[in-house]
């Protein structure tokens, strides 16, 4: 069995016990690896009712089946745990180099259990695994922690994954960071690591990941690499402009949220577009492991330089906060990386705070002199810092936008689904993506099914974004295929150029599993249903398959999509039928049985 | 009639970001593309007032045309 190392590293922090165990191959065939397999193991091992920040929660840091192979974009790993933000299975996905190096060290995943008595870090050097004291780096930011621990390890090739002060302070919107700038960002996974008193996990691997069928892999590689190169998005658009090229596309479509989703078109968006960033700020590309796309940016601003910013980050600290100052957006992005925060949730929480101030819910005296208003760039940057250190009102904001707005009696001002902040697309003008937001197992998220690809960009084919016909089918297929891509450890961006058959060819050449297309997609459906069953166990119902009131009830007020509304009440029943679920969104025994669940 | 033409990404190279154009009545998107040396095949996204159209779409006075080569992200 190629691709997999066949070994799981389990660390009980309470007892200080380190052990390895064989990977369950039968389970791996059905749930692949990463998000799928770790999600299934999580659901089997961790009772649904545990407190996410208690020692009883477990943190799985899992590679995908193809992570660390020579497959294109195979640098991804996932942090799978119970989310402290909304209680569902978090599977926060990150690129960079760390995930591949976990495989080189000989492990498919690391499971952290219990809670260390004092701050520690984990040091993995092939077979040698140690739990080490982290008192000297506790409280330090991600950049300093990375430097200090790298020096201590004594080998520059070591890869560092860590939390920042935000995770230590149990912020519900904190991230797990790796390779300095890469984030397993969403769902508050940094706080789970912080709750276990684990500051960092270092990995140095000298091994290699084998392919089951090396000759076949040569052919599959050349075919998939050619497709990635020839595709306009993966071969030209993303390499040239990075993800922020979306600013103008989404804005010109009139589905670009402004001022906490109060408007959906920004006449000044080009000031902060990918085109502007490329012309004025880009220093170099910053690709992940074995990625021919290289969308990652390394850029400069007044007084500094660093990674990013990505489209979502540009939007959330930019137009969604009424800001067109690229230097401020860069600074806010850099602080999130440094302190270990999710840029989407942080920016959206600040924007919600701005609206709470605008509408008089938050009083000026609570702000300690730091402006919290749309368009105030300096204030916005300072609020990022205050969230990281839970200072003043920043302590409430560190809980995310839903809890912040709820504290002030206005939860409807949180632009979130299942308490997870929505990304940069107004669902009222893009019906399939709207349905996907409402039904995404982890809440307001675009990377559980990126319907923007067919509905706006036109890949793999162009769909009319304003109609609902056929969209439930598209959403189900996209959600299931995305679960497969995640679990393979490949980047979702590869799917602009590659389809199900390409992924099947890759995984079969690497693992020798010999899936058919149908069998591979069924793995995705199994993964989706596993997550849904967990959602139901923790108390979510069909009532939470919804959108914020503003987006559900009001039409888009201005711009190119003026007057458009989301037809969710019509889409949801179609979606449940498509999934083989009951009318109340519960997977039926028949469908589960057909999936072997 | 008068329309606004917006170009994005590589379409801006050697051309412009935004310009107003005077066109004969009943002009189509293709009549905007040809003088710019942009072929319909190069256009991945063509929006007229935010709605996706093809090169045969008939334009009206006051329309805004946004043209994109293949680009995307997430």
Q: For A537-595, how does the pLDDT look when each residue is reduced to its tens digit (9 = 90+)?
A: 999 999 999 999 999 999 999 999 999 999 999 999 999 999 999 999 999 999 999 99
Q: Cis before residue A268, ω within 30 degrees of 0?
A: no
Instruction: Tell me the chain B residues in contact with residue A447 when contact means C-beta distances shorter than 8 Å.
Output: 74
With 0-12 / 13-18 / 19 or more C-beta atoms within 10 angstroms meaning exposed / middle / buried, residue A206 is exposed
**β-strands A120-125, A109-113 pairing:** unpaired
Residues of the domain holding B39: 2-68
% of chain A surpassing 90 pLDDT: 100
Helix (H) or strand (E) holding A90, with range, is strand A89-94
- Report H helices in A52-141: 98-104
A49 CA to centre of own chain: 24
CA nearest B65 in A: which residue?
A252
CA distance B55 to chain A (A): 15
Is the Cβ pair B71, A233 closer than 8 Å? yes
- The answer, for A82 touching chain B at a CB cutoff of 8 Å, is no
- Report H helices in A53-164: 98-104, 142-153
Contact A100, A75 (CB under 8 A): yes
Q: How confident is the model at residue A108 (pLDDT cuts 50, 70, 90)?
A: very high
Q: How confident is the model at residue B74 (pLDDT cuts 50, 70, 90)?
A: confident
Residue boundaries of the structural domains of chain A: 7-204, 242-415, 426-547+567-594
Of residues A236, A447, A561, nearest to B74 (C-beta): A447
CA nearest A310 in B: which residue?
B74
pLDDT digit string, tens, across residues A52-97? 999 999 999 999 999 999 999 999 999 999 999 999 999 999 999 9
CA nearest A244 in B: which residue?
B73
CA A77-A474-A535 angle, to 5 degrees, is 55
Is the Cβ pair B71, A465 closer than 8 Å? no
Count of A–B CB contacts within 8 Å? 99
- The answer, for B53 touching chain A at a CB cutoff of 8 Å, is no
CA distance A307 to chain B (A): 16
Of residues A238, A275, A458, nearest to B73 (C-beta): A238
Tell me the sheet residues that pair with A160: A202
Is the Cβ pair A243, B74 closer than 8 Å? yes
Provide the pLDDT for residue A574.
Answer: 98
Is the Cβ pair A465, B69 closer than 8 Å? no
- The answer, for A457 touching chain B at a CB cutoff of 8 Å, is yes
Alpha carbons A273 and A570: distance in angstroms, whole number: 35
Residue B64 backbone dihedrals phi, psi, to 5 degrees: -110, 125
3-class secondary structure per residue, A391-407: CCCHHHHCCCHHHHHHH
A431-439 vs A471-488: helix crossing angle, rounded to 10: 60
- The answer, for B66 touching chain A at a CB cutoff of 8 Å, is yes
- The answer, for A422 touching chain B at a CB cutoff of 8 Å, is no
The verdict on residue B73 lying in a domain is no
Provide the pLDDT for residue B73.
Answer: 77
Q: What is the DSSP letter of A16?
A: T
The verdict on residue B29 lying in a domain is yes
3-class secondary structure per residue, A304-331: EEEECCCHHHHHHHCHHHCCCCHHHHHH
Domain A426-547+567-594 annotated CATH 1.10.599.10: yes
The verdict on residue B74 lying in a domain is no
Calculate mean pLDDT across residues A331-346. Answer: 98
Q: What is the DSSP letter of B19?
A: E
Residues of A (432-451) whose Cβ lies below 8 Å from B: 446-447, 450
Is the Cβ pair B73, A243 closer than 8 Å? yes
Q: Does the pLDDT of residue A191 top 80, yes or no? A: yes
CA distance A227 to chain B (A): 14
Full strand arrangement of the beta sheet holding A120-125: A128-133, A120-125, A198-204, A159-162, A176-178, A182-184
Task: Domain A242-415: give its CATH architecture.
Answer: Orthogonal Bundle (1.10)
Contact A190, A175 (CB under 8 A): yes
Q: Number of structural domains, chain B?
A: 1
Contacts of B13 (CB under 8 A, 6+ apart): none
Q: Is B43 left (phi over 0), alpha (psi -120 to 50) or beta?
A: beta
- The answer, for A587 touching chain B at a CB cutoff of 8 Å, is no
Calculate mean pLDDT across residues A15-27. Answer: 97
Residues in chain A, how many?
Answer: 597
Instruction: Tell me the chain A residues in contact with residue B17 when contact means C-beta distances shorter than 8 Å.
Output: 270
Of residues A254, A270, A459, nearest to B72 (C-beta): A459
- The answer, for B50 touching chain A at a CB cutoff of 8 Å, is yes
Alpha carbons A437 and A90: distance in angstroms, whole number: 15
Is the Cβ pair B72, A274 closer than 8 Å? no
Provide the pLDDT for residue B72.
Answer: 81
Contact A503, A490 (CB under 8 A): yes
Is the Cβ pair A246, B47 closer than 8 Å? no
Give the CATH number for residue B41: 3.10.20.30
A343-358 vs A326-339: helix crossing angle, rounded to 10: 120
Q: Does the pLDDT of residue A452 top 90, yes or no? A: yes
Calculate mean pLDDT across residues A11-40. Answer: 98
Alpha carbons A205 and A302: distance in angstroms, whole number: 38
Alpha carbons A156 and A321: distance in angstroms, whole number: 39
Write down the ipTM of this complex.
0.96
Provide the pLDDT for residue A82.
Answer: 98
Calculate mean pLDDT across residues A395-408. Answer: 98
pLDDT digit string, tens, across residues B28-71? 999 999 999 999 999 999 999 999 999 999 999 999 999 999 98
Full strand arrangement of the beta sheet holding A89-94: A17-22, A7-12, A109-113, A59-63, A77-82, A89-94
Is the Cβ pair A295, B68 closer than 8 Å? no
Neighbours of A583 (CB within 10 A): 10
Contacts of A171 (CB under 8 A, 6+ apart): A188, A190, A191, A341, A387, A388, A390, A398, A399
CA distance A234 to chain B (A): 8
Contacts of B45 (CB under 8 A, 6+ apart): A249, A456, A457, A458, B52, B66, B67, B68, B71
- Angstrom CA distances, A134 to A403, A591, B37, stand at 31, 48, 61
Alpha carbons A159 and A149: distance in angstroms, whole number: 10
Round the average pLDDT of chain A to a whole number and report it.
Answer: 97
Q: Which two tokens stand for residue A497?
A: 């150029």
Calculate mean pLDDT across residues A239-248. Answer: 96
% of chain A surpassing 70 pLDDT: 100
Alpha carbons A64 and A33: distance in angstroms, whole number: 5
Q: How confident is the model at residue A215 (pLDDT cuts 50, 70, 90)?
A: very high
Assigned CATH for A7-204: 3.60.9.10
């Amino acid at each position: 069995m190629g691709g997999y190392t066949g070994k799981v590293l389990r660390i009980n922090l309470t007892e200080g016990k380190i052990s390895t165990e064989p990977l369950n191959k039968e389970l791996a065939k059905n749930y692949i690896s990463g998000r799928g397999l770790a999600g299934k193991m999580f659901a089997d091992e961790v009772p649904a009712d545990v407190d996410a920040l208690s020692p009883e929660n477990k943190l799985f840091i899992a590679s995908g089946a193809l992570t660390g192979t020579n497959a294109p974009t195979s640098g991804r790993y996932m942090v799978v745990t119970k989310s402290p933000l909304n209680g569902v299975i978090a599977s926060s996905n990150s690129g960079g180099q760390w995930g591949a190096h976990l495989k080189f060290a000989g492990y498919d995943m690391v499971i952290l259990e219990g809670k260390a008595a004092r701050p520690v870090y984990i040091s993995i050097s092939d077979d040698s695994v140690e739990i080490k004291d982290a008192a000297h780096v506790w409280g330090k930011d991600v950049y300093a922690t990375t430097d200090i621990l790298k020096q201590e390890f004594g080998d520059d090739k070591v890869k560092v994954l860590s939390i920042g002060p935000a995770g230590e302070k149990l912020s519900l919107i904190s991230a797990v960071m790796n390779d300095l700038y890469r984030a397993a960002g969403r769902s508050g996974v940094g706080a789970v690591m912080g709750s276990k008193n684990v500051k960092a996990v270092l990995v140095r691997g000298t091994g290699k990941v084998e392919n089951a069928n090396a000759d076949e892999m040569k052919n599959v590689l050349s075919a998939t690499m050619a497709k990635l190169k020839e595709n306009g998005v993966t071969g030209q658009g993303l390499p040239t402009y990075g993800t922020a090229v979306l600013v103008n596309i989404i804005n010109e479509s009139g589905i670009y949220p402004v001022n906490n989703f109060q408007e959906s078109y920004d006449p000044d968006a080009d000031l902060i577009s990918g085109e502007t960033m490329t012309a004025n700020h880009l220093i170099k590309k910053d690709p992940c492991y074995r990625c021919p796309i290289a969308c990652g940016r390394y850029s400069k601003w007044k007084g500094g330089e660093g990674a990013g910013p990505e489209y979502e980050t540009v939007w959330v600290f930019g137009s969604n906060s009424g800001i067109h100052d690229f230097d401020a957006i860069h600074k806010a992005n850099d602080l999130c990386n440094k302190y270990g925060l999710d840029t989407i949730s942080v920016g959206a929480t600040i924007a919600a705070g701005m609206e709470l101030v605008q509408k008089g819910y938050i009083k000026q005296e609570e702000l300690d002199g730091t402006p919290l208003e749309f368009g105030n760039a300096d204030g916005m940057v300072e609020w990022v810092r205050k969230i990281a250190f839970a200072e003043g009102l920043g302590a409430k904001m560190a809980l995310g936008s839903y809890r912040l707005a709820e504290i002030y009696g206005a939860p409807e001002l949180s632009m979130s689904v299942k308490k997870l902040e929505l990304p940069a697309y107004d669902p009222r003008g893009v019906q399939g993506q709207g349905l996907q937001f409402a039904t995404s197992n982890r809440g307001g998220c675009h990377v559980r099914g990126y319907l923007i690809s067919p509905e706006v960009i036109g890949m793999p084919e162009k769909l009319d974004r304003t109609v609902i016909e056929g969209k439930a089918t598209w959403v189900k297929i996209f959600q299931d295929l995305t679960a497969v891509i995640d679990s393979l450890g490949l980047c979702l961006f590869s799917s602009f150029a590659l389809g199900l058959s390409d992924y099947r060819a890759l995984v079969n050449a690497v693992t020798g599993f010999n899936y058919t297309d149908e069998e591979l997609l069924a793995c995705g459906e199994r993964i989706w249903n596993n997550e849904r069953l967990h959602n139901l166990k923790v108390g979510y119902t069909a009532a939470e398959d919804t959108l914020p009131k503003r987006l559900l009830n009001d039409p888009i007020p201005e711009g190119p999509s003026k007057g458009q509304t989301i037809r969710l009440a019509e889409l949801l029943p179609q979606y449940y039928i498509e999934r083989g679920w009951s009318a109340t969104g519960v997977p039926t025994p028949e469908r589960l049985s057909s999936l072997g669940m | 009639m008068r329309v606004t033409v917006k170009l994005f990404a590589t379409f801006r190279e050697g051309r412009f970001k935004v310009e107003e154009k005077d066109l004969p009545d009943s002009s189509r998107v293709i009549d905007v593309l040809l003088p710019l040396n942009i072929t319909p095949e190069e256009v991945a996204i063509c929006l007229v007032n935010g709605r996706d159209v093809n090169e045969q779409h008939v334009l009206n006075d006051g329309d805004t045309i946004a043209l994109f080569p293949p680009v995307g992200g997430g």
